[in-house]
Amino acid sequence: MKISSIAPVLALMAAQSVNAHTLFAELYVDGQAQGDGTCIRMPSDPNTATNPIPSLDSSDMACGVDGTKGVARVCSVDSGSTLSFEYRDWPDNPSVGSIDISHKGPCAVYLKKVSSAIDDEGTGDGWFKIWNEGYDESAGKWCTEKLIDNNGHLSVKVPEGLQGGYYLIRPELLALHNADKGDPQFYAGCAQVWLNSDGTQLPQSTVSIPGYVDYNQPATSFNIWNEKMALPYPMPGPSVYTPSSSAKVGNQKLRVSQQKQTEGLAPSNSIITNGNWNGIELARYNDQEGCWNASTACWAQSKECYDTAPPTGHSGCKIWEGKCQDINDQCSASNYKGPPNYMKNLNPVVKQVKLPAAEAAQTGDGSYSPASSAAASKPATTFKTSALVAKATAVAPPSNSNALTVSTEGNCGNGVTCKGSSFGDCCSSHGYCGSSDQYCSAGCNSAFGTCGGQYKRDEHNHMHVHKHKRAVRIGGDARMMP
């Protein structure tokens, strides 16, 4: 009996070879990794998964591109738990980094109480902010810079006393490096969670996403390149929530009809996960027909795993594929009793990472001033990214330096060098040209530029680093965009 191998592996690997910017890729609950992409709504296209949200009035603002579609898993958290959000520059490779140093800006975390974490589309009213941070004047750093210092991790405590039930939790980054040109770049995603809590509190007021921010507001048009900056930075969106004992979210009354989680649980016979897919153990067998039937069923699950793999990759699918091959080998050797290693947990050992200390949930005074009518009347400047800049990969330098092309768009690697470019002579580990320590020191790629601390230029130049000349302004003229 012939069993075909899985073809989508190479296609998925090729698709994930080009990325840019950042993506919320993994959730940690009290320090425990939930798995790459598990419980997280993600874009379906790995090529564009790390792109910023293309428009502030798009439904993508709620939970990211394709974020209106729920996933199969819902993670369980307790009242007061620490939730950590891992951002990645390359979704399937956390070692590359989290976000480019030029993408400076604030962070925030929002919650939305829902009747179903899987079925709710996320858009509309009901969102409330539990934490935010902009520019820390004492440290001289933006929140995104602290995120980079923490290897892409942001940790926040769930407020004590919140009403239990299903929630969408939404970490948000805003990159301001081109905001003064009408292009604030939001990066948002949603995790589906069940909150174990006997609390009764809900927020006094909520906001709608999209709709809570707009173009041309002080927070979304702030110029980080001014010297000196016009601080304090005005945080975008509402103030942090004010708790209330009322069981209302906006105008919608929500009651907890269940005392325990019933949706989004991993099946009891799941022996491995990949994102939100579960590998289900095969039925026992003791004859030839049963063995080959198990093999067929195993490969069918393997195909489903690859077909549904999120941008974070398919490492679990590869492990499951090994199980299928083992069954094949046993059947071919006339060993018809199985499956081998029945109900053995195939999940890799949970990785241990150093997470930052959790920030306490914040509370406000209930005040929230939406955009003024004057600001709202201004025409919005909306962009859509239509192409990506390829990253540099760790490859050996070419034997002939003359074969390198000087970068014209701020990217480096794959035959493109920063040396002699207008963006800076150093090629960072992220594959971008620059001249500050972040580009010229640790991780600097000497194959595609010059490394060392002697190359210092005005960091404002890096505002142009990875502008995509193929970005198109919706309904208007073409413009460059990072």
Instruction: Please report which confidence band the pLDDT of residue 341 belongs to, taking 50, 70 and 90 as the band edges.
Output: very high
Is the pLDDT reported for residue 401 higher than 60?
no
3-state secondary structure 417-480: ECCCCCCCCEECCCCEEECCHHHHCCCCCHHHCCCCCCCCCCHHHHHHCCCECCCEECCCCECC
pLDDT tens across 41-76, in order?
Answer: 999 999 999 999 999 999 999 999 999 999 999 999
Is the pLDDT reported for residue 440 higher than 90?
no
User: What kind and span of H or E run contains 190?
Assistant: strand 190-198
Mean pLDDT of 404-416: 80
pLDDT tens across 171-201, in order?
Answer: 999 999 999 999 999 999 999 999 999 999 9
Query: Smallest Cα–Cα separation from 37: which of 190, 264, 141?
Result: 190
pLDDT tens across 206-215, in order?
Answer: 999 999 999 9
Mean pLDDT of the chain: 82
Residue 244's beta-bridge partner residues? 202
% residues pLDDT > 70 (the chain): 78
pLDDT tens across 103-113, in order?
Answer: 999 999 999 99
Query: Smallest Cα–Cα separation from 235: which of 333, 129, 389?
Result: 129
The answer to whether 135 touches 106, Cβ cutoff 8 Å, is yes
Identify the pLDDT of residue 83.
97
Identify the pLDDT of residue 430.
67
Q: Please report, as a single letter, which amino acid is at residue 254.
A: L
The answer to whether 103 touches 177, Cβ cutoff 8 Å, is yes
Strands 153-157 and 433-434: unpaired
How do the domains of the chain map onto residue ranges? 18-264+353-377, 270-332, 390-465
Identify the pLDDT of residue 427.
84
Identify the pLDDT of residue 246.
52
Write down the architecture of domain 18-264+353-377 according to CATH: Distorted Sandwich (2.70)
pTM of the predicted protein model: 0.75
d(CA 76, CA 158): 12
